[in-house]
Amino acid sequence: MKALAAIVRRVGGPDVIEWVEQTLMPPGPGEVTVAHSSIGINFIDTYYRRGVYPMPLPGGLGLEAAGRVVAVGPGVREFREGDRVVSFGPDRGAYATARTIAAAQLFALPDGIDDDIAAAGFLKAATAEFLVERCGQVQPGWPVLVHAAAGGVGLILVQWLKAVGAMVIGTVSSASKAEAARAAGCDHVLNYTEADVMPAIRALTGGAGVRVTYDGVGRSTWATSLDATGRRGLIVNYGNADAAVGPVDLAVLAQKGSLVNTRPALFDYYHEAGERAAGALRVWEMIASGQVQISIGQRWPMQAAAAAHTALEGRATTGSSLLIP
């Protein structure tokens, strides 16, 4: 079977993405071959491309894609040819018309979830699930801050937080993104390009600060996260869309009110088979119930991945983005 796939031979800008035709061998023991219909774009893809996260070179790009099983290797019992599936890693290579992957990395797609929604939202919704319910353990009534509230993860985080009863403050960079964040359920939206958001955050929380801050931006929002989080609060750095925070003087956490800081990874929360199944079930429930709606803001042809990365890194996207084979 032939497949067109993206590869990266050296780290760098979007221009390092190349496209090659590959011959897929029949799946081996424990493997399946999946033909992709929709491919999710995530900021972590740019980290691998830039070398922020190391990977062997040459290497593939992309973690998330939905499609149908077209071949099943020996020993695979959980999937059959024709089954609809979605993957979110950890193996890369989703930027492809088809690929062979370990069956253990696939999730069955419920009938009510279409391929575009799965590819656009599964990784991000699973991220929101573990960030809110297992990492932050957010409780009803808590004030919570979400940076980049109109981003792919941000919009889903806002909806999930509202579903569990939090009071959500979101930061954004434009009026259009503010509108998107409000539509997702943000109680208060602050545009950090217009004014310092810190006084407003403290005012909205009666001076106490938020209980949890979700920061997927990194260096440029670190100081705000420290100042906005209240005594014994939690700062969750789950990404660095701007740049990595860099070395942290742990004493500052004490000075700011005995804060707790974590840098969690999705695959540490979706590691065991039981927690993977439970997390996925929760994601499908939230989407099926309408409490979490996946917003697809952009679709590109698959081979326009470089343009998609440029838009993503330039903060020129809203919601989730897809590559269409």
Q: What pLDDT does 191 receive?
A: 92
Residues 76 and 118 in one domain: yes
Q: What pLDDT does 275 receive?
A: 93
pLDDT at 194 over 80: yes
**What average pLDDT does the segment 229-255 reach?**
89
Task: Name the residue type at position 105.
Answer: Q
Residue 77 is assigned to a structural domain of this protein: yes
Residues 106 and 176 in one domain: no
Residues 280 and 255 in one domain: no
Residue 129 is assigned to a structural domain of this protein: no
Residues 231 and 276 in one domain: no
Count of the separate structural domains present in the chain:
2
Residues 149 and 202 in one domain: yes
pLDDT at 320 over 90: no
Q: Encode pLDDT of 284-311 as tens digits.
A: 999 999 999 998 999 999 999 999 999 9
Residue 195 is assigned to a structural domain of this protein: yes
Q: What pLDDT does 11 receive?
A: 97
Q: What is the CATH number of the domain that holds 287?
A: 3.90.180.10
pLDDT at 315 over 90: no
Q: What pLDDT does 237 receive?
A: 95
Domain-ending residue, one of 263, 294, 312: 263
Which structural domain range is residue 91 located in? 2-122+270-324
Residues 17 and 100 in one domain: yes
Residues 144 and 218 in one domain: yes
pLDDT at 242 over 80: no
Domain-ending residue, one of 263, 289, 311: 263
Mean pLDDT computed over every residue of the chain: 94
Q: What is the CATH number of the domain that holds 215?
A: 3.40.50.720
Residues 232 and 148 in one domain: yes
Answer for the pair 216, 153: CB distance below 8 angstroms, yes or no: yes
How far apart (Å, rounded) are the C-alpha atoms in residues 103 and 257? Answer: 46
Residue 206 is assigned to a structural domain of this protein: yes
Domain-ending residue, one of 232, 263, 294: 263
Residues 250 and 277 in one domain: no
Residues 38 and 108 in one domain: yes
Residues 233 and 195 in one domain: yes
pLDDT at 97 over 90: yes
Residues 283 and 243 in one domain: no
**What average pLDDT does the segment 70-92 reach?**
96
**What average pLDDT does the segment 171-181 reach?**
92
Q: Encode pLDDT of 195-227 as tens digits.
A: 889 999 999 999 999 999 999 987 888 999 999
Q: What pLDDT does 207 receive?
A: 96
Q: Which residues pair with 98 in a beta bridge?
A: 35
Residue 130 is assigned to a structural domain of this protein: no
How much of the chain, in percent, has pLDDT values that exceed 90?
85
Q: Encode pLDDT of 26-74 as tens digits.
A: 999 999 999 999 999 998 999 999 998 999 999 999 999 999 999 999 9
